[in-house]
Amino acid sequence: MDGLDDLKATYLTAVATVQDEAALEELRVSALGKKGEISALMAGLDKMEPDQRKAAGAMLNVLKDEIDAALRAKKAGLSDAALDARLREEWLDVTLPGRPRPRGTIHPVSQVMEELTAIFADMGFAVAEGPQVESDWYNFDALNIPPEHPARQEHDTFFMHRDAGDARPPHVLRTHTSPVQIRAMTEQGAPIRVIAPGRVYRMDMDQTHTPMFHQVEGLAIDRDISMANLKWTLEEFCRAFFEVDKVELRFRASHFPFTEPSAEVDIRYSNVGGQLRIGEGDKWMEILGSGMVHPKVLAAAGVNPDEWQGFAFGMGIDRIAMLKYGIPDLRAFFESDLRWLRHYGFSAIDMPDLAGGLSS
Ligand code: DAH
């Protein structure tokens, strides 16, 4: 059979020079495919004499095997090269130091809210919420602060926009968390035990006042709750919150329209060289207002004052955060200075709870 050497040379050269797997596959088809050259020659064997056929068939088989082997070897070579190229491209230096990510922290106010929620939850208080844009009825009237009452002026209220000629009183940015007392009692009735932490607003700005600050309201209504329960609850709270055995609270007679009697509560602390310590020293810081809920307030929320009574308090969250964590200036709380946040912020992974420790 003539020409087989040429055929072999042509294919082997082509296989040697081919550059990619697609072209190699084309070569395979044109040589060994059903309609390929070798297959055509094989088909021609039928017309030969038996002797001739045997010799030619053997030669064709050898040629076929040679070309097949060359194709396979080339294919393996090409796919190795492709893998090498990919590995080179996707190479990763695992010894490189990781890129530092911006590290977020929990703001002291959020931390303190979690801490106090954990403590009051342990005493059986649920969390209640109310809107920050509040109607003037919830913020004032329902709390026994009628329109002409001087307490309205003392609150330095931010009023929402009102169209000229609108007779209704404007909504306000709530000046305290006390309206949540009304909302919670209206929704749930009595008995009830809730706290309501959140933002409040007043037009005021100096080292200890910002136009937005945080309070937590407390409310406990039942058949025979007294001032003694209030005192125990607050002392127990302070002991747990400040994580010290000894806390000393001072109850001062005061006046709020929504409580009768009313008391403001101060906590004993010392300030030695800017270091604040709770439970010692000769300084007092006011941390909250409190009292027995006024019968008119219960009635405004649909709770019968002849049947139910209880205490309420409103505590400054930012104040107790400053005291516990020794943060001197309130304004820095809301300046979003990353250095301040990194210094005073808390890890996002440690959720405060009483069993695992509040602030550790
Ligand atoms: N709402 C008062 C304030 O912001 C604080 C307060 C006083 C809340 C007495 C109370 C309370 O619940 O009983 O100044």
pLDDT in tens, 55-75: 888 888 888 889 999 899 999
Residue 171, SS3?
Answer: coil
If one residue of 194, 313, 317 were mutated to test the ligand 1 pocket, choosing by the most ligand atoms within 8 A of its CB, it would be 313
Domains of the chain, residue spans: 4-89, 108-344
Confidence of residue 201 (pLDDT cuts 50, 70, 90): very high
Pocket flag, ligand 1, residue 241 (CB < 6 Å): no
CA of 290 to the centre of ligand 1 (A): 6
Tell me if 232 sits within 8 A of 201, measured CB to CB: no
Confidence of residue 360 (pLDDT cuts 50, 70, 90): low
CA of 319 to the centre of ligand 1 (A): 15
Q: What is the mean pLDDT of residues 288-301?
A: 98
Cα–Cα distance measured from residue 187 to residue 340, given in angstroms and rounded to the nearest whole number: 40
CA of 86 to the centre of ligand 1 (A): 69
Return the sign of the alpha-carbon dihedral for residues 149, 302, 251, 208.
negative
CA of 128 to the centre of ligand 1 (A): 16
* CB atoms near residue 40 (< 10 Å): 10
pTM: 0.71
Q: Are strands 309-316 and 212-222 parallel, antiparallel or unpaired?
A: antiparallel
Cα–Cα distance measured from residue 16 to residue 67, given in angstroms and rounded to the nearest whole number: 11
Q: What is the mean pLDDT of residues 173-182?
A: 97
User: For residue 320, what is the enclosing H or E element?
Assistant: helix 317-325
CATH classification (class only), 108-344: alpha beta
Pocket flag, ligand 1, residue 313 (CB < 6 Å): yes
Q: What is the mean pLDDT of residues 40-66?
A: 87
pLDDT at 333: 93
pLDDT in tens, 221-240: 999 999 999 999 999 999 99
pLDDT in tens, 116-138: 999 999 999 999 999 999 999 99
| pLDDT > 70? residue 102 | no
Q: What is the mean pLDDT of residues 189-202?
A: 97
Ligand 1 atom, smallest distance to 218 CA? 12
